[in-house]
Amino acid sequence: MTTRRVLLAAACSAALFLPGSLTAQVDTTTRRDTTTRRPRATSQQRLRVQKGEAGGTIDLRADSLAAVERTRVDSINVAMQRQRDLAAAADRARSDSLAAIERARADSVARVDAFRRDSVARSDSIAAAEAAHRREMARFRFGGNGWYMGLGAGASAPTNDFKNLGYNSGLNVHVPIGWHRNNSALGVRFDLGYSRFSGQTFTGTRPVGSANTIDNPNPSVFSATANVTLATPLSLLRNVRLYGVGGAGVYHFRSFGGGSALGGYLGNDVLQTNENKNKSTRNKFGAQAGAGLDWTVGTSSVYVESRFVNVFANRDDGVAFRDFFGDRGNSLRWVPIVLGVKLR
């Protein structure tokens, strides 16, 4: 094989060299006068090269054509292989794209289905909550819309001048009627009240030689007031609210006796010998303010409340009043403390 390669290389060199020499020789032997304008002779003889020791010849043109053909075939094969590779890559890319699209579609369907399930569950939850709320509201006596009515009882303790006139603590009855939603801070309330005090003996200051002692009967006070409530929840106890209340209204005094110390304080002339000329009932304007605790139990609540009541006597003080009662204020004050139940 080595010898053959050497011979082939020598033949190729000779083939590259010989045509020029032959052409030169032919040109010198066959050249004619250019004035005759005859065509130049060319050689059509195929060159043959000796193979060496083995003998024989090599057809250089055939080998060249074969090499070119092999190169062409190899190029075609490479191009076809590249085309197949590109087709395979395009097919893989198409498959990957289709798979990605399918995954995206499946994810979208899954999200839509999950959203639908969540929506249905949320709707069912809302419907169940509304049904439970309606059942809960049906338990309330006033529909659970914030209205309530209560009843409480306790004691009323006179203070300051009211106590010094000879009156002690007595019964108090409280009927609140109001509106106050659980999620609202402000509310309104209308109070009906009844207080009865225990009358004692009062000793007044009279001219020397005159009686100065009065036996006071047990007076009653009916009241009707309009109030505003302000509530705030307590975080220490469940369902417990601290609230404030304040308002004003009318206080009706009766059964106090025309010649009693309370009668004189409200405007009667206790020095009159004819007691029938004095009024036996009085209506006075007053105001109140207080606070309480409201503990919700189911649809009702238990409350404890205390208020400060101030009633304006609105009387004309004369010399006789000051001589008998001394220097007094112009208000009657007491403090009721009640425990009760509110129905909602």
CA dist., res. 178 & res. 26, Å (int): 139
User: What are the chain's domains?
Assistant: 144-343 (2.40.160.20)
**pTM for the model:** 0.60
At 268, is the pLDDT very low, low, confident or very high (cuts 50, 70, 90)? Answer: confident
The mean predicted confidence, pLDDT, of the chain is 80
CA distance readout (Å), 17 to 14, 23, 64, 140: 5, 11, 17, 124
**Residues 6+ positions from 256 with CB-CB distance below 8 Å:** 199, 216, 217, 219, 220, 262, 263, 266, 280, 282
> What is 212-256 written as a DSSP string?
-EEE----EEEEEEEEEEEEEE-SSSTTEEEEEEEEEEEEEEESS
Mean pLDDT of 8-37: 48
- CB of 293 within 8 A of CB of 306? no
At 28, is the pLDDT very low, low, confident or very high (cuts 50, 70, 90)? Answer: very low
3-state secondary structure of 107: helix
pLDDT in tens, 126-165: 888 877 766 666 566 666 678 899 999 999 999 999 999 9
Across 102-106, 278-282, 336-340, which has the greatest mean pLDDT?
336-340
- Give residue for tokens 């043959």: 48
pLDDT in tens, 73-103: 888 888 888 888 888 888 888 888 888 898 8
